[in-house]
Structure 1
Amino acid sequence: MQTILLQAAPDGGMLPQLLMFGAIILVFYFFMIRPQQKKMRDQKKFREELTKGMNVITIGGMHGRLVGIEDDIVVIEVDKGIRLTFDKTSISMEATARAQKV
């Protein structure tokens, strides 16, 4: 009975609990939040550097060549004479960059 009561006694106060909670927050930051922010920053930079003639892939998977770029709108030619208008944020990546990754 005495051993059960000794095990239930607080052993260090709140400091170890606070340190563990802080360590969990740091792990979340370095493994989840920070990489996501970097990815968003790189994606924004890519969209700002779009130029005519680039082969791109949209978020929906449409492949095509950029033939027109305005403020927030891009025109993609998917086949000869077939042009589609997309929002600039719908461009996912450059098609040649995807080919290099595979």
Structure 2
Amino acid sequence: MFISNAFAQTAGAASTSATAGFMQMLPLVAVFVVMYFVMIRPQMKRQKEHRAMVEALAKGDEVITSGGMLGKVSKIDEQYLSVEIASGVEIKVQRTAVVQVLPKGTVSK
């Protein structure tokens, strides 16, 4: 008596189990989609913009480094820059340490 009732209940639920399983996975998939558009995609865009800025550096550009130093680019190598932070004082930094390129004339003010 108990076995046939249990069998009848599982037989009815078996036809909807595929739909129920999908509905349980839907919120998890939605969370990953939202995380991609809110966190991952903007970060990738910022990295791409920073890479383009670093590749476009030229001699004479005024920059801010990640350490907070303001200066003018005096020499450019493949991986390093020489930045003049005061008259006659040059430091060597990695190209990726440049955070921002400033408008011309900002450092001398």
Establish whether TM, by shorter chain, passes 0.5.
Answer: yes
Structure 1's unaligned 5+ residue stretches are 1-11
Equivalent in the alignment of 1:94: 101
Contact kept, 8 Å, 1:63 with 1:95, in 2: the verdict is no
TM-fit CA distance, 1:13 = 2.3
TM-score, normalising length: structure 2: 0.75
- Equivalent in 11, 27, 35 of residue 34 of structure 2: 27
Distance in structure 1 (CA, Å) of the matches to 2:44 and 2:99: 16
- Equivalent in 29, 35, 43 of residue 36 of structure 1: 43
- 1:54-74 Cα offsets, whole Å, 9 max, x none, are 110001111000010010010
Equivalent in the alignment of 1:65: 72
TM-fit CA distance, 1:14 = 2.1
- Number of residues paired by the alignment? 87
Distance in structure 2 (CA, Å) of the matches to 1:23 and 1:37: 20
Query: Root-mean-square deviation (CA), in Å?
Result: 1.7
Equivalent in the alignment of 1:45: 52
Higher CA-based Rg: 2
Structure 2's unaligned 5+ residue stretches are 1-18
Equivalent in the alignment of 1:3: none
Q: After the TM superposition, list the runs of 4 or more consecutive aligned residues in structure 1 that deviate by more than 4 angstroms.
A: none
Matched, 1:85 2:92: yes
TM-score, normalising length: structure 1: 0.79
